[in-house]
Structure 1
């Protein structure tokens, strides 16, 4: 389907509503109030479709000053974002070029979301690692300020090492699964030899202990998957630098 119309006709609003109705959130804003028409108190998105021969009905209700509500086939969901586990939707807008042109954090976030969608049982892994990392960093700062001890740090070091190794392995699997699909689609667009490359060392408690003094000096964990990057390549060219934006 091709949607055409003059500027301001609502083309972007239509696409945004499809994303909200199938994923439970907007790709453009995290403030749900911005999705409601000016001067109105609420909005509703209702979608009907067919999945594997069965009818699917999705509803998302937005109200000013209240949490959004969502239902799937008439059953209320605990959170609207649960829709993303039921219906696959891909959006590409000009600001998504940040995945290629932006810094490593944008790519980590993008591929971690892809990891969660491809393997829902591991969807929480990046957040769990991030929470453990925050605790370890807080403990590092506490030691430097004199109100924590190295003994108190050790469990968080082990937790960060364990979850970090699992996250590195999960990312490797996800990117290995995505790479042939990426190469095929890129080839259709005339981009030969496209590839994704993720080279990362799995953290261990021993490697984190070995750099403990440096981490204490900086008050943060200086190694692990929170600092990794995914290279997006065409042959030997890094598309972050040499890719066309057309």
Structure 2
């Protein structure tokens, strides 16, 4: 799998841009602030319908423009597919596949798969639980695009239920409360939450060995990387559901209903949902100690790289070709040892896109095509 051509209209800093790409390594070279990351961000957006830099779509549209358009020719099994996404702030995005409109933009998910390494990845180790939940859910969607709908349904239920908890709790304090509607939303939360939670738990089980191996390769055996899924339903969920039919969806649904019933008084008092996958975390450890707060800067980078490398390993072994690897200004952040080891591990990928401020930041093992990016102008050097 690779991207053969990228076309942008009013995306970020680009009024227009055209970039032809080949399999193998392509390095986008230029000083900071010239638009390198905007190009690989657009590739990532085609794959995920999201940005690794911002949570909302509005910043992706060039200032003063009503919309942005990203087009990518994706080659998979030697067959090209043209994917087009129109990004309009405040409105639902629109998408086309081979110039034919599709009912929902998320129907393009799965046509292109990417694994992106970026400086922001340190937040996977050092940041809040939301960063690690997003990592799991993004990988779930990359493996099985139907989880985009599951994720969206669950987030909608949490918003609606939280609003109801807040209004009902306020009414109860005035002696006017009626919480019967909550029973319906408890059921919705249990149904959607069990589906999302079952997917996460299965993914966590499959990630354990690839992450351990990748960390050992990047760090040259300096510690063992492990992790535990910490759930609002208890920390032993993985062991409970690993052999259950459908990864324990019925069991998880029952547990979520029991927990919402048990926590209802507290939830009404606080006006928020205290139970469900949105409260969970993936606790990372090095040896016997939590990585967050104990790992050095280098160890944190090794762990973040291991999570991305493990994602790549899972995706590439599921068929359909290697995911496109994107390394956005990563090598400048790494010491020479980690830089070279990462390059060795990814050099045989079908397509690798690298951004760097200077050519010397790109390891020798990843020498290939070069594109210079300067003041929004894109020019192929070799």
How high is the TM-score relative to the length of structure 2? 0.55
Aligned to 2:276: 224
**Whole-angstrom distance in 1 between the partners of 2:138 and 2:186:** 25
Aligned to 1:242: 294
**Whole-angstrom distance in 1 between the partners of 2:109 and 2:78:** 20
Gaps of 5+ in 1: none
**Whole-angstrom distance in 2 between the partners of 1:217 and 1:184:** 46
Aligned to 1:107: 132
Q: Say which structure, 1 or 2, has more relative contact order (CA 8 Å, 6+ apart).
A: 2
The aligned runs of 1:194-205 (5 Å cut-off) are: 194-200=225-231, 201=233, 202=252, 203-205=255-257
Matched, 1:157 2:186: yes
Gaps of 5+ in 2: 1-24, 234-251, 299-382
Q: Give the secondary structure class of the aligned counterpart of 2:29.
A: coil
Q: Using a 3 Å threshold, how does the CA distance of structure 1 residues 213 and 11 change in structure 2: closer, same or farther?
A: closer
Matched, 1:47 2:72: yes
Q: Give the secondary structure class of the aligned counterpart of 1:110.
A: helix
Q: Note the C-alpha offset of 1:167.
A: 2.7
Aligned pair count? 245
Matched, 1:233 2:285: yes
Q: Give the secondary structure class of the aligned counterpart of 1:149.
A: coil
Q: Give the secondary structure class of the aligned counterpart of 1:86.
A: coil
Q: Give the secondary structure class of the aligned counterpart of 1:123.
A: helix
Matched, 1:98 2:123: yes
Q: Note the C-alpha offset of 1:26.
A: 3.5
Aligned to 2:168: 143
Aligned to 2:7: none
Contact 1:61 1:68 (8 Å CA) reproduced = yes
Q: Give the secondary structure class of the aligned counterpart of 1:71.
A: strand
Q: Note the C-alpha offset of 1:171.
A: 1.2
**Whole-angstrom distance in 2 between the partners of 1:162 and 1:99:** 28
Q: Give the secondary structure class of the aligned counterpart of 2:117.
A: coil
Aligned to 1:3: 28
**Whole-angstrom distance in 2 between the partners of 1:111 and 1:11:** 27
How high is the TM-score relative to the length of structure 1? 0.80
**Whole-angstrom distance in 2 between the partners of 1:8 and 1:98:** 22
Q: Note the C-alpha offset of 1:237.
A: 2.5
**Whole-angstrom distance in 2 between the partners of 1:134 and 1:65:** 18
1:86 to 111, 115, 137: 111
**Whole-angstrom distance in 2 between the partners of 1:120 and 1:65:** 24
1:153-208 alpha-carbon deviations (Å, 9 max, x no partner): 22222332333333322210121122222222222101542123213224332332
**Whole-angstrom distance in 1 between the partners of 2:109 and 2:100:** 15
